[in-house]
């Protein structure tokens, strides 16, 4: 209280009424007192809070987004939302919109500026549709990717100006050559070209690059050996072990793993169920025990929300994928290759529609994995509803994937 009260008061000692909620939020857990004191004394954002109290800095997420982007600015934005000082919004979307205004204003052609604003508003920005900072994705990666995508589109439009062309007069062959010489930036143009086509602005064709599924030499036996290691070792963090096992056993992408909410886990006696998609999966007993331990783990943070299963150190945020991927890679676990093996095996045992429901992936992704597995599921309705003796249930199929643990 002694440190916080001056922080949220003006130079005459008058408490700012809107910031009192922040004080209550930071003081609600006495066990976090040392962490709060450290933040007040060391973080440059704490000084920004005082500027808000004195009226020298607006109390808004947009004002914070206009500040140079750092982890500290994102943390302050999350604190203000968690405490109720400002309405909850998706801060990464706000940051992107602030950047767009500045970047688009630098473009010399007003037609290009208008086109990019329209495209960003209709296609790019709505991708940040999750409520507030409680996102279901690692939005920082999406934020950087969106900026790179818009830069690539702006460069294309600028090149057309130099050639005295536009999207309607650009020859397909010239566009193909442009894409081929731009590497990754060229491949990023496909969503924009397809959108422009729907708007009647161009007749150009642009295709997404097909991904090639590979296992990099990883065998199914090696995958299960890694899984057994993560079940028993105590050398790495519990969140790393649980996250790694979800990828190794069920082929779950780390971006999906870290965004799992606590309510995705259901406990029924000694049984543990996890919902990756629309239907819960019963976890093997040893794995379920680790998930229960993770539920009980409470790191000392500035916040005590119970939303995320993999709770991050920033208020309202889950862990980043790097927090899990790094320790696994150092342990020699090729997670990407193991995920491919897991999904290939599951697609061989389960029809695409069921695979999509259980794992929370799109039906298109499930169908691709089914094709890669070489299994023909034209009779899958019979498999799903059959009650004939000897026919495995869907839960039996998914349980068999972890029988080697």
Write down which residue in 87, 114, 139 finishes a domain.
87
52 close to 86: Cβ distance less than 8 angstroms: no
208 domain-assigned = no
405 domain-assigned = no
78 close to 317: Cβ distance less than 8 angstroms: yes
Whether 115 and 171 share a structural domain: yes
Whether 175 and 83 share a structural domain: no
217 domain-assigned = no
pLDDT digits (tens, 9 = 90+) for 276-318: 988 899 999 999 999 999 988 755 444 455 678 888 776 667 8
Whether 17 and 142 share a structural domain: no
Instruction: Quote the pLDDT of residue 383.
Output: 45
Whether 106 and 226 share a structural domain: no
Whether 77 and 96 share a structural domain: no
Return phi, psi of residue 311, to 5°. Answer: -75, 130
203 domain-assigned = no
209 domain-assigned = no
Whether 262 and 337 share a structural domain: yes
Write down which residue in 58, 87, 116 finishes a domain.
87
What angle separates helix 363-373 from helix 335-349, to the nearest 10 degrees? 90
pLDDT bucket at 400, cuts 50 / 70 / 90: low
Domain hosting residue 320, numbered range? 222-400
Instruction: Quote the pLDDT of residue 133.
Output: 46
357 close to 273: Cβ distance less than 8 angstroms: no
Res. 248: pLDDT tops 90: yes
Span 133-156, average pLDDT: 76
Instruction: Quote the pLDDT of residue 386.
Output: 43
The number of folded domains in the chain is 3
């Amino acid at each position: 209280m002694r440190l916080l009260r001056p922080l949220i008061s003006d130079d005459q000692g008058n408490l700012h009424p809107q910031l009192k909620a922040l004080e209550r939020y930071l003081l609600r857990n006495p066990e976090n007192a040392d962490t709060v004191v450290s933040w007040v004394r060391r973080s440059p954002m704490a000084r920004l809070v005082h500027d808000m109290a004195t009226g020298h800095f607006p109390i808004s997420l947009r004002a914070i987004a206009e500040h140079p982007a750092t982890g500290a600015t994102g943390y302050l934005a999350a604190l203000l939302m968690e405490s109720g000082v400002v309405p909850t919004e998706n801060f990464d979307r706000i940051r992107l919109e602030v950047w767009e205004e500045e970047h688009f204003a630098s473009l010399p052609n007003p037609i290009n500026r208008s086109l990019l604003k329209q495209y960003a508003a209709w296609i790019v920005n709505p991708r940040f549709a999750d409520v507030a900072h409680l996102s279901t994705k690692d939005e920082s990666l999406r934020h950087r990717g969106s900026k790179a995508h818009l830069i690539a589109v702006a460069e294309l439009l600028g090149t057309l100006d130099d050639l005295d062309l536009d999207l309607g007069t650009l020859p397909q062959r010239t566009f193909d050559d442009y894409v081929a010489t731009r590497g990754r930036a060229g491949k990023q143009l496909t969503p924009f070209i397809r959108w422009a086509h729907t708007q009647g602005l161009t007749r150009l064709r642009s295709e997404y690059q097909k991904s090639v599924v590979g296992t990099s030499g990883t065998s199914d036996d090696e995958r299960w050996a890694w899984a057994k290691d993560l079940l028993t070792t105590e050398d790495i963090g519990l969140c790393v072990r649980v996250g790694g096992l979800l990828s190794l056993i069920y082929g779950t992408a780390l971006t999906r793993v870290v965004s799992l909410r606590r309510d995705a886990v259901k406990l029924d006696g000694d049984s543990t169920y996890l919902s990756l998609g629309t239907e819960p999966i019963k976890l093997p007993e040893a794995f379920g025990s680790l998930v229960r331990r993770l539920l009980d783990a409470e790191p000392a943070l500035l916040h005590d929300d119970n939303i995320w299963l993999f709770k991050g150190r920033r208020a309202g945020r889950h862990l980043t994928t790097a927090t899990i991927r790094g320790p696994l890679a150092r342990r020699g676990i090729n997670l990407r290759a193991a995920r491919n093996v897991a999904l290939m095996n599951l697609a061989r045992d389960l029809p695409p529609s069921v695979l999509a429901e259980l794992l929370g992936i799109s039906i298109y992704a499930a169908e691709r994995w089914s094709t890669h597995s070489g299994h023909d599921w034209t009779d899958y309705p019979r498999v799903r509803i059959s009650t004939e003796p000897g026919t495995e249930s869907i839960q039996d199929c998914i349980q068999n994937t972890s029988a080697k643990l």
